[in-house]
Copies of this chain bind each other. A is one copy, B any other.
Amino acid sequence: MLSDIEICRATYLQPITHIARDAGLLNEEYHPQGKYKAKISLKAIERLRDQKSGKLIVVTAITPTPLGEGKTVTTIGLSQGLKKLNQSVMACIRQPSMGPIFGVKGGAAGGGFSQVAPMEELNLHLTGDIHAVTAAHNLAAAAIDARIYHEQRQGYDAFEKRTGLKALRIDNQQVVWKRVMDHNDRALRMVSVGQNEPNKTINGYEREDGFDISAASELMAILALSKDLKDLRQRIGKIVLAYGLNGLPITTEDLQVAGAMAVSMKEAIEPTMMQTLEGVPTLIHAGPFANIAHGNSSIIADSIATKLCDYTVTEGGFGSDMGFEKACNIKASATDTKPDCAVIVATLRGLKVNSGLYDLKPGAAIPDSLFEPDNDALLAGFENLKWHINNVAKYGVPAVVAINRFPQDSQQELELLQQWVNELELPCGVAISESFAKGGEGAMELGKQVIEACQLPSCFKPLYSLDQSIEEKLMAVTEVGYGAANVTLSYQAQKQLKLYEKHGLNHLAVCLAKTPLSISTDGSVKGAPKGFEVNIRELRLCAGAGFIYALCGNVMTMPGLPDIPAFMALDLDDDGNIVGLS
């Protein structure tokens, strides 16, 4: 079979102007960026405000292996399947981060005959939104250290006299805004900045700092959760960067940097339209990870898509404990658009890994033996799928299981799995998806089931309401959601919780960062664990995004490169074409 990039290159693509026009956008509402990408103006939202919204389908998954279960393939494939069923449809996905592209996972455009195209433009830079987030984020970081430097060097009174600005008296040890970079760069997790030659302060005042990957930036969440440019600007102004020596929060407005940050993100707020290999218009917007961020593409993209067509297919990262939970508890609470249906992607190999009978190390390739028939492992791993079906039901959202078929899969096991789903007490659709090998045609059965599920009466409800206490919200996600026995807070997290309560921040949502490789916070525990504890080691305030960010277990907010990174395969051939991207 051809590689992803070869399939993509061999496919005829329509000019993006045709795609945008056929999707119902007016001339002045799209701005082509090259032949196959266009920025979509937020004017479209204004114009379409009174239109009836179509259905929103959120694609989620079982607890995945490190290589993923094919959620994007299924998202794109399903959108193509719905098109083949003569439905009006769009897909909405997040921009891929270059960290995983150069690291373990490779590209994130889908695969086979279900891709967003041109896949190399999606995977590399796109229209620069992640770079804009990175730039705006690091501007604030530079601004804090510069302000500390000038105030301390000149002295507070002299500083006020010289500049006419109020001295902010920032506590060096209480800068809570780290820097970010869109790479997997382990060495930047813990750094010290502002180092100097002995007895000099020419580079500022030394302090401990660190870099997160850009996907984890609060600005990325703000981009995804904002309704419009004004909302973006206001949210940016609420970001707490540091605390003063008096213990009070110092915001971007205090540093007079919020305006410049919003200016820097002015173009990023417009989603980018591309197309799938079968011509389904696809909006790409924001790029958060569901393990260390809220993990869903933007409210703005969904708003445009649901107004323009009857079915919008989007995805939440990783399993339903991760991106789907946040789609329901964070994203849906920030907008009027609620999920009408969930698609749970499962693979035979992924379920077998969830049996716990295979010793699969993170970063390691999946052994061939996983594709051999093994009903015991499949049955044991089925517990994980059941858990995710039940989890989706907690939110009152109808679900369809999509079995993402691999060529090596055994027919007998595929049938067995469908039978098990059909025998569950909880009504739930199930279909085999061959989106990878067959494109939309391979997802028509799935599409039919999804259309049926979308006709069911919606009784969506999140797990908590914003007026509950932060602790109650954490309990709702971990105990009601994950099914943990209980949730505990480290001493540091308890102190932080008290501080946020003192500052009147009880109304914020909660965003949990944890391993995606287990429903629990221990990546080695597979299946459907029970009775486990969730320990929150740190709480970070994201007042602009509108949530408290809780770090569980040993989750890292900056990934590292493996010893055989994906970038080694990448190069240009003699004709200047990219090779080695999949």
Beyond A34-B32, A572-B266, whether A135 also contacts B98 by CB under 8 A is yes
Q: Which residues of B contact A182 (CB under 8 A)?
A: 135
| Known A146-B560, A576-B229: A124·B154 in contact at CB below 8 Å | no
**How would residues 9 to 31 of chain A score, 1 for a CB under 8 Å from any chain B CB and 0 otherwise?**
00000000000000000000001
Residues of B within 8 A of A446 (CB): none
Query: A183 contacts which chain B residues (CB < 8 A)?
Result: 135, 138-139, 142
Docked-complex contact A563 and B150, CB < 8 angstroms = yes
- Chain B residue nearest in CB terms to A203: B189
Interface centre among A150, A233, A567, A581 (most CB of B within 10 A): A567
How many Å lie between the Cα of A187 and that of B562 in the bound state? Answer: 29
**B residues within 8 A CB of A572?**
229, 233, 259, 262-263, 266
A120, A134, A187: most-surrounded residue (chain B CB, <10 A)? A187
Is residue A39 contacting chain B, with contact meaning CB distance below 8 A? yes
- Whether A186 sits at the interface, judged by CB under 8 Å, is yes
List chain B residues, Cβ under 8 A from A128: 125, 127-128, 131
| Number of chain A residues whose Cβ lies closer than 8 Å to a Cβ of chain B | 80
Q: Does chain B have a CB within 8 A of A485?
A: no
A32 to B32, CA, bound (A): 7
Could you say which of A190-198, A302-310, A319-327 contacts chain B? A190-198
Within 8 A of B (CB), among A26-78: 31-35, 39
Interface residue A143 (Cβ < 8 Å from any Cβ of B) = yes
Which B residues touch A146, using CB under 8 A? Answer: 184-187, 560-563, 565
Q: Could you give, for residues 142-161 of chain A, a 1 whenever the CB lies within 8 Å of some chain B CB and a 0 otherwise?
A: 11011001100010000100
- B-contact bits for A177-212, CB 8 A (1 contact / 0 none): 000011111111111111110000001100011000
Interface string of A112-149 (1 = CB under 8 A from B): 00000000100011011001101100110111011001
Contacts of A502 in B (CB 8 A): none
Counting chain B CB atoms within 10 Å of each CB, the highest count among A124, A127, A209, A580 belongs to A124
CB <8 Å contact, A259 and B580? yes
Residues of A70-100 whose CB lies within 8 A of B: 98
Judging by beta carbons under 8 Å apart, are B181 and A138 in contact?
yes
- Smallest beta-carbon distance A223→chain B, Å: 14
Give chain B residues whose Cβ lies under 8 Å from the Cβ of A564.
Answer: 163, 165
Does A376 belong to the interface (CB within 8 Å)? no
Q: How far is the CB of A38 from chain B (nearest CB, A)?
A: 9
Chain B residue numbers with a CB within 8 Å of A98 are 135, 139, 264
A267 within 8 A of B: yes
Q: Is the CB of B143 within 8 A of A567?
A: yes
Residues of B within 8 A of A125 (CB): 128, 131-132, 135, 264, 267
Contact B570 A259 (CB under 8 A): yes
Q: Max chain B CB contacts within 10 Å: which of A134, A188, A581?
A: A188
Instruction: Report the Cα distance A210→B118, complex, angstroms.
Output: 36
Q: A125-B267, A572-B233 are in contact. Are A203 and B184 (CB under 8 A)?
A: no
Whether a CB of chain B sits under 8 angstroms from the CB of A578 is yes
**What is the 8 Å Cβ interface bit string for chain A, positions 552-581, against chain B (1 contact, 0 not)?**
000000001111110110111010101011
**Is A565 touching B143 in the complex (CB atoms < 8 A)?**
yes
Q: Are B560 and A263 in contact (CB under 8 A)?
A: no
Is A102 part of the contact surface with B, judged by Cβ < 8 Å?
yes
Least CB distance from A66 to B in Å reads 17
Q: Which residues of B contact A565 (CB under 8 A)?
A: 143, 146
Q: How far is the CB of A177 from chain B (nearest CB, A)?
A: 12
Is A257 in the interface zone, CB < 8 Å from B? yes
Instruction: Find the B residue at minimum CB distance from A37.
Output: B33
Q: Chain B CB within 10 Å — which of A141, A146, A204, A568 has the most?
A: A146
Q: Are A266 and B578 in contact (CB under 8 A)?
A: yes
A184 to chain B, nearest CB (A): 6
Q: A187 touching B191 by the CB < 8 A rule?
A: no
The docked-state distance in angstroms from the alpha carbon of A186 to that of B150 is 11
CA distance A195 to B256 in the complex (A): 32
* Minimum-distance CB pairs A-B, first 4: A259-B571, A145-B187, A146-B561, A260-B567
Q: List 19 A-B contacts (CB under 8 A).
A: A31-B34, A32-B33, A124-B266, A125-B131, A131-B134, A135-B182, A138-B185, A142-B183, A146-B561, A149-B560, A159-B563, A186-B194, A187-B204, A195-B208, A233-B571, A233-B572, A257-B567, A262-B572, A263-B578
- Additional A-B contacts beyond A142-B186, A154-B563 (14; CB < 8 A): A31-B34, A98-B135, A141-B185, A142-B561, A143-B567, A146-B186, A150-B562, A159-B563, A187-B204, A191-B194, A192-B192, A204-B560, A259-B567, A263-B578
